Structure 1
Amino acid sequence: MKQRDKDRFHSLKMADAYNHMCQMLVPGYNFLQDTLINILKFEDIKEIVLLDLGAGSGIFLEKVLKEFPDSKCYYLDYSDDFMQVAKERLRKYDDRVTFIKSDFSGNWESKISEAPTVITSSSAIHHLSSENKKKLYKKCYDTLKEEGWFFNIDEMKTVNEDAYIKNLYYWVYHANKQKKQLSDDDMDAYLKWMDQFNNWKKRNVDGIDKPKKEGDDIHESFLAQLDWLKEIGFIETDVFSKHFLWCLIGGKKVYGTF
């Protein structure tokens, strides 16, 4: 159940480029994260202890820490380079963030001293096989506090295959279109980001019919993943929002579950 996707997440240059460009080059990036923030507000969770899986450069955690001044967060990622970028970003919240280095198969839950009321992940879980996605979802359920929420923003297949394929092409279109809006100062980060994105295109668009293995982009139907969450025991499961390839799915842990 390795989180690592070959070597493309283990480069400080890539971590910096991703941190700099993701909000512009990933369609719906801020929209879906902000939707998740609004769900947390609507649910009126009294105490937010949030664990972010594959937390990357810490953009989402920064939003949580700003919006909920009493919140505490656990940052989990395998990449030292992304963690370095995140520590700089979250430096002023240092007393409210615990950093954990682990891939998803590690014993990360043993490093959590307070059961999270919310577990989140963004653009990370899709690298796992179907079986390992299910195992991680079950681990999240077991780790959550009673009535806690789990949310996953990720690349997912949609209802129909032709629409899914079109969503893949949309990302290529979107990423190329953004170049026209960039300043000269942004161009270096853009080119570094696009160098990795072109590899994504080769794997997922040009090689769409090739078999996938652990660590690749293993896109599963959001409907199938909602079924898995329900089978594990989550209630109120739903696709809370969708933007082309990206879906925000989640569910709530039942009260009285141990």
Structure 2
Amino acid sequence: MASNLNIQNEFKAVSEKYDTQRKHLIPCFNDFYSIPLELSEEIEEVKNVLDVGAGTGLMSAFFYEKYPEASFTLVDLSNDMLAKAKERFEKQNENFTYLSADFSTTDFGEQQYDLVISGLAIHHLEHSLKQELFSKIYKALKPGGWFINADQVEGGTEEADYIYRDNWKKKVEQSPLTEDAKQSAYKRIQLDIMAPLNDQLHWLKDAGFEQANCYYQYFNFVVFAGRK
């Protein structure tokens, strides 16, 4: 994994403006967050949700709106980002639990959750840790539960990866973000350790997931999922 200290420092610096900036840093923002919600309808009943790399709780906010009776556990390495999540959900404290921890090494238990979600977090892990995490998530899910990951991936070829990154940078340059915000984003992506989509789908299958599939892709922004 990229240095935990580096990751914490970079996200501490941006935590105040993170959600506002994300709409400009994710060109496909609406699809990227709405499609995981639609996928979750495949689950018979959503009572317990784990958000891996929850950050400010943005993804959990969308799911909470859909499942207001569910219990949410948010885990993230950054205390500053989780502090923003706590502010976001301060009126719903009974629904939310927070865990400040390195999700790459945290044990999530067995058959605890109907749904595990993650948004733009797992690509920070070394590939071996991604595989270990997928196995831990599989173990943590109840039978019939789903893991839904909205993340960025590496291109399957060098040319494809160049096109992915070039397209993203062009979109960022065209955005209304300040120059400082743009440079901060370019600095953060240096911490990314993206993996090709097909590799990750294979890792899900190796972990035991059924229906491991990509359900949405816009250049390197993808939504892929698996069912236990």
Query: Residue 106 of structure 1 aligns to a residue in which SS?
Result: coil
**C-alpha spacing 1:219/1:2, structure 2 compared with 1 (3 Å):** closer
User: TM-score, normalising length from structure 1?
Assistant: 0.81
How many Å separate the matches in 2 of 1:193 and 1:85? 19
Q: Aligned residue for 1:150?
A: 147
- Range that drifts further, 167-176 or 22-31: 22-31
1:119 equivalent among 108, 116, 120? 116
> Offset of 1:2 from its aligned partner?
6.6
Q: Distance in 1 between matches of 2:209 and 2:103?
A: 20
| Residue matched to 2:126 | 129
Q: Name 1:27's counterpart in structure 2.
A: 27
Q: Within 5 Å, which residues of 2 pair with 1:1-258? A: 4=4, 6-7=6-7, 9=9, 12-41=12-41, 43-109=42-108, 115-179=112-176, 190-200=178-188, 203=190, 216-253=191-228
Distance apart, 1:13 and its partner CA: 4.1
Deviation at 1:48, TM superposition (A): 3.1
- Once the two structures are superposed, residues 183-207 of structure 1 have per-residue CA deviations (whole angstroms, 9 ceiling, x without a partner) of xxxx6xx455323213246x4xxxx
Offset of residue 120 of structure 1: 1.1
Letter in 1 for 2:217: K
Residue aligned with 2:199, SS: helix
Q: Which structure would you say has the larger Rg?
A: 1
Structure 1: gaps (5+ residues): 180-186, 204-215, 254-258
The alpha-carbon deviation at position 24 of structure 1 amounts to: 2.3
The residue matched to 2:187 in structure 1 has which SS?
helix
SS in 1 for 2:16: helix
Q: 1:7 to 1:37 in 2, by over 3 A?
A: closer
Residue by residue over 1:203-231, the C-alpha shift from the partner in whole angstroms, topping out at 9 and shown as x without a partner, is 4xxxxxxxxxxxx3111110011011111
Q: Relative to total residues, which structure has the larger strand share, 1 or 2?
A: 2
Structure 2: any 5+ residue segments left out of the alignment?
Answer: none
**Partners of 2:171 and 2:210 in 1: how far apart?**
35
In the superposition, relative to structure 1, how do residues 134 and 234 fare at CA in structure 2: closer, same or farther (>3 Å)? same
> Per-residue CA shift, 1:129-182, capped at 9, x if unaligned?
111110011111111111111111111023333122111011111111112xxx
Q: Is the 8 A contact 1:10 1:81 kept in 2?
A: no
Cα shift at 1:89: 1.0
TM-score, structure 2 as length reference: 0.91
- For residues 230-252 of structure 1, give each alpha carbon's deviation from its aligned partner in whole angstroms, at most 9, with x where no partner exists: 11110011001111111111101
